[in-house]
Structure 1
Amino acid sequence: MSAMSPFRPAPRRLRQLAVSVPLSLALLGGGLPASAEDVASPSDSAQDARQSTDLPLDELRTFAEVFERIKRTYVDQVDDRTLLKNAMRGMLEGLDPHSAYLDQEDWQDLRENTDGEFGGIGIEVGTGDDGQLTVIAPIDDTPAARAGLQPRDVILKIDNTPLDGLSMSESVKLMRGEAGSRIRLLILSEGADMPREVVLERAIIKSSSVSQRLLDPGYGYLRISQFQSATGDEAHTALARLREDNDGEPLKGLVLDLRNNPGGLLSAAVEISDLFLSSGRIVYTEGRLPDSELSFSAKPDTPAGGTPLVVLINGGTASAAEIVSGALQDQHRAIIMGTDSFGKGSVQTVMPLGNGDGLKLTTALYFTPSGRSIQAEGIRPDVEVVRGRLERDTRRDFSVREADLEGRLDNANAASESASSKAPDSPVVAESDYQLGEALNLLKGMNVLGRSAALKATVPTSDE
Structure 2
Amino acid sequence: MLYASLNRLLLIAGVLALPLGVFAAAPKSDESGEGLLPLEDLRMFTRVYDHIRSGYVEEISDSKLLEYAIKGMLSELDPHSAYLDKKAFEDLQVNTTGEFGGVGIEIGQENGFIKVISPIDGTPAQKAGIETGDLIIRLDDKPVKSMSLNEAIQMMRGPKGSELILTIMRSGVEKPFDVVILRDTIKVQSVRTRIMDDDFLYIRIAQFQIDSGRDTARRVREQLEKTPNLKGIILDLRNNPGGVLQASVEVVDAFLDTGLVVYTEGRLENSDINYTASSGDASNGLPIVVLINEGSASASEIVAGALQDHKRAVIMGTRSFGKGSVQTVIPISESRAIKLTTALYYTPGGRSIQAQGIEPDVIVERAEVTALKAAGPVPTEADLAGHLQNKKGGEEVGSKSREQTRTVSIADPSRKDNQLQEALNLLKGLHIFRKQQEGGDAKPLQTAEVKRDAGDILPEELPESLD
TM (norm. structure 1) is 0.63
Question: Does residue 287 of structure 1 match 2:294?
Answer: no
Q: Which has the higher contact order (CA 8 A, sep 6+)?
A: 1
TM-aligned CA deviation for residue 77 of structure 1:
3.2
Deviation per CA, 1:248-289: give whole Å up to 9, x if none. Answer: 223211111111111111110110001110011111111112
TM-aligned CA deviation for residue 208 of structure 1:
1.8
What corresponds to 1:59 in structure 2?
41
* 8 Å contact from structure 1 (residues 315, 339) kept in 2: yes
Structure-2 separation of matches of 1:400 and 1:275:
52
What corresponds to 1:359 in structure 2?
338
Q: Could you say what secondary structure the match of 1:256 adopts? A: strand
RMSD of aligned alpha carbons = 4.1
- Written as runs of structure 1 = structure 2, the 5 A alignment for 1:107-256 is 107-118=89-100, 173-175=158-160, 207-240=188-221, 242-243=223-224, 248-256=227-235
TM-aligned CA deviation for residue 399 of structure 1:
6.1
- Written as runs of structure 1 = structure 2, the 5 A alignment for 1:5-84 is 49=22, 51-52=24-25, 54-84=36-66
Relative distance call for 1:124 and 1:109 in structure 2 (3 A) is closer
Q: Could you say what secondary structure the match of 1:255 adopts? A: strand
Structure-1 separation of matches of 2:23 and 2:238:
45
Residue identity in the other structure for 2:431:
N
Structure-1 separation of matches of 2:54 and 2:94:
40
Residue identity in the other structure for 1:372:
R
Deviation per CA, 1:105-164: give whole Å up to 9, x if none. Answer: 1111111111224589xx999xxxxxxxxxx999xxxxxxxxxxxx99xxxxxxxxxxx9
Structure-2 separation of matches of 1:241 and 1:394:
44
What corresponds to 1:449 in structure 2?
433
What corresponds to 1:340 in structure 2?
319
* 8 Å contact from structure 1 (residues 274, 298) kept in 2: yes
Deviation per CA, 1:64-119: give whole Å up to 9, x if none. Answer: 11122223333333332222211111111111211111111111111111122458
Structure 2 unmatched runs, 5+: 1-17, 26-34, 106-120, 129-139, 143-151, 163-184, 384-392, 396-408, 442-467
What corresponds to 2:291 in structure 1?
312
Q: Could you say what secondary structure the match of 1:238 adopts? A: helix
- Written as runs of structure 1 = structure 2, the 5 A alignment for 1:351-430 is 351-354=330-333, 356-393=335-372, 398=377
Structure-2 separation of matches of 1:248 and 1:372:
37
* 8 Å contact from structure 1 (residues 429, 436) kept in 2: no
- Mean Cα displacement is larger for which, 335-344 or 50-59? 50-59
Deviation per CA, 1:286-326: give whole Å up to 9, x if none. Answer: 11122111111111222114111011111111111111111
* 8 Å contact from structure 1 (residues 259, 312) kept in 2: yes
What corresponds to 1:298 in structure 2?
277
Structure 1 unmatched runs, 5+: 1-44, 126-135, 139-150, 153-163, 177-183, 185-203, 412-424, 458-464
TM (norm. structure 2) is 0.63
* 8 Å contact from structure 1 (residues 278, 298) kept in 2: yes
Residue identity in the other structure for 2:51:
R
* 8 Å contact from structure 2 (residues 23, 36) kept in 1: no
Deviation per CA, 1:21-45: give whole Å up to 9, x if none. Answer: xxxxxxxxxxxxxxxxxxxxxxxx9
Structure-1 separation of matches of 2:281 and 2:188:
26
Relative distance call for 1:427 and 1:363 in structure 2 (3 A) is farther
What corresponds to 1:3 in structure 2?
none
- Mean Cα displacement is larger for which, 384-393 or 75-84? 75-84
What corresponds to 1:433 in structure 2?
417
TM-aligned CA deviation for residue 169 of structure 1:
7.5
Residue identity in the other structure for 1:232:
G
TM-aligned CA deviation for residue 60 of structure 1:
1.0
Residue identity in the other structure for 1:290:
E
Structure-1 separation of matches of 2:347 and 2:296:
15
TM-aligned CA deviation for residue 232 of structure 1:
1.3
What corresponds to 1:350 in structure 2?
329
Structure-2 separation of matches of 1:427 and 1:354:
58
Residue identity in the other structure for 1:435:
Q
* 8 Å contact from structure 2 (residues 101, 157) kept in 1: no
